[in-house]
Amino acid sequence: MAIEVGAKLEGKVTGITHFGAFVDLSGGVTGLVHISEIADNYVKDVKDHLKIDDVVKVKVINVDKDGKIGLSIKQAVDRPEGQVAPQREPRVGGGSGGGGGFNRGGGGQDRGGRPFNKQSAGRPSYNKPSFEDKMSRFLKDSEERISSLKKNTEGKRGGRGAKRV
């Protein structure tokens, strides 16, 4: 039986990992349900939603050239016309604080670890520094760092503080 993208099948969970679950389809063919395709809500641990030997309905979402099959449980659920999947709750807290947790709840940080201002989201800010301002600040910082490095390395080269020319 050929597995086609878009087909809805039943399969048996044969393995669970931290990134998803392996599902055995008919004929010994195995596909992977990624953790993001298990449920409409946030899935922290696959074992909270699936167990080995569970029979699940899956939808084939991709088939790679090398035979890997991508499956989805949440896309296999038939929804009435016009009903959309529930939106995810925004994450609050969590993450390492260094940009790993994409936190937009009240004064968090964006992905670059910079402070995120909720009021200005999606609107252009006219008080941002121009490109030229950013470049001049970068050049100034860069020159300061280079001169600092030169000062530190010149003293280590010649012994007794002699400078090479």
Per-residue pLDDT tens digits for 45-68: 999 999 999 999 999 999 998 889
What percent of the chain clears pLDDT 70, i.e. is strictly above it?
64
C-beta separation of 23 from 59 below 8 A? no
pLDDT of residue 34: 94
Cα separation, 64 vs 76, whole angstroms? 19
pLDDT top residue among 158 and 154? 154
Task: Give the mean model confidence (pLDDT) for residues 95-112.
Answer: 52
C-beta separation of 5 from 51 below 8 A? no
- The CA-based diameter of the chain, rounded to the nearest angstrom, is 83
Task: Give the mean model confidence (pLDDT) for residues 144-160.
Answer: 76
Q: Is 24 exposed, middle or buried (0-12, 13-18, 19+ CB in 10 A)?
A: middle
- Per DSSP, the three-state class of 140 is helix
| Domains of the chain: residue spans and CATH | 8-72 (2.40.50.140)
Cα separation, 122 vs 126, whole angstroms? 13
Residue 134, H or E segment: helix 131-157
Q: Find which of 2-6, 21-25, 110-114 is predicted with most confidence, using mean pLDDT.
A: 21-25
Residues in Cβ contact with 135 at an 8 Å cutoff, skipping those fewer than 6 apart = none
Cα angle 78, 84, 85; round to 5: 80
Task: Give the mean model confidence (pLDDT) for residues 124-141.
Answer: 82
Residue 87, H or E segment: none
Task: Give the mean model confidence (pLDDT) for residues 124-150.
Answer: 84
Neighbours of 14 (CB within 10 A): 13
Cα separation, 151 vs 148, whole angstroms? 5
